[in-house]
A and B are shown apart, each in its own frame.
Chain A
């Protein structure tokens, strides 16, 4: 069975702090995709990044960076120098077609 676990339910940081959101997944597929989505208070899910199972190269995009480790089945997401606008619910998802989402991590960035 496929499963995504986001153990952190809520994280609260002060602006400019770095924060890492954890994601652990389970799948028997050899080819799969991993995603991070952001859901601000407005409710719309916003796509952030996609990784396929063959690409373990980590990526940095502005203040965002992602660490994919197949050996530990983890796909963690770090925001550097957090800002109030980063406050949202963040979802990690696994795809073998349909998306399997984790429970989400609520990030609150305080000024």
Chain B
């Protein structure tokens, strides 16, 4: 049983650049979540998809952030014009409707210089 995978695992970028992260959920899961975790804090919810529909977005998700899940399978999270405050671990999780447990990927650690 393949778990949630995320790529890349690490990303270093310069302020002002755009970055894109990918998440591949567990194959039979129709729900996909993005979270952000900064040092010493618990993960914070960013957004959630059910199949290809983006059903909820956090206020943390500024206009520079966009997420897609075009075919209801993998998802991408893009950050435009990165800022140093965007440095964090970006976590993806997936689950099935009716089963509340979310399973997490290894995360993408972003450092904005």
Contact = CB atoms under 8 A, between A and B. Distances in A.
A16 interface: no
Given A43-B89, A97-B56, A104 B42 contact: yes
Contacts of B109: 43
Interface of B: 33, 35, 40-45, 48, 56, 89, 91, 93, 100-107, 109
B103 A47 contact: yes
30 contacts: A4-B42, A33-B100, A35-B101, A42-B106, A43-B89, A43-B109, A44-B104, A44-B107, A45-B43, A45-B91, A45-B104, A47-B101, A47-B104, A52-B100, A91-B42, A91-B43, A93-B42, A95-B100, A97-B56, A98-B45, A98-B56, A99-B33, A99-B35, A99-B43, A99-B93, A101-B42, A101-B43, A103-B40, A103-B41, A104-B42
Interface residues of A, number: 23
B106 A99 contact: no
A100 interface: yes
A52 B98 CA distance: 12
Contacts of A95: 100, 102
A70 interface: no
Contact of A98 (B40, B48, B101, B104): B48
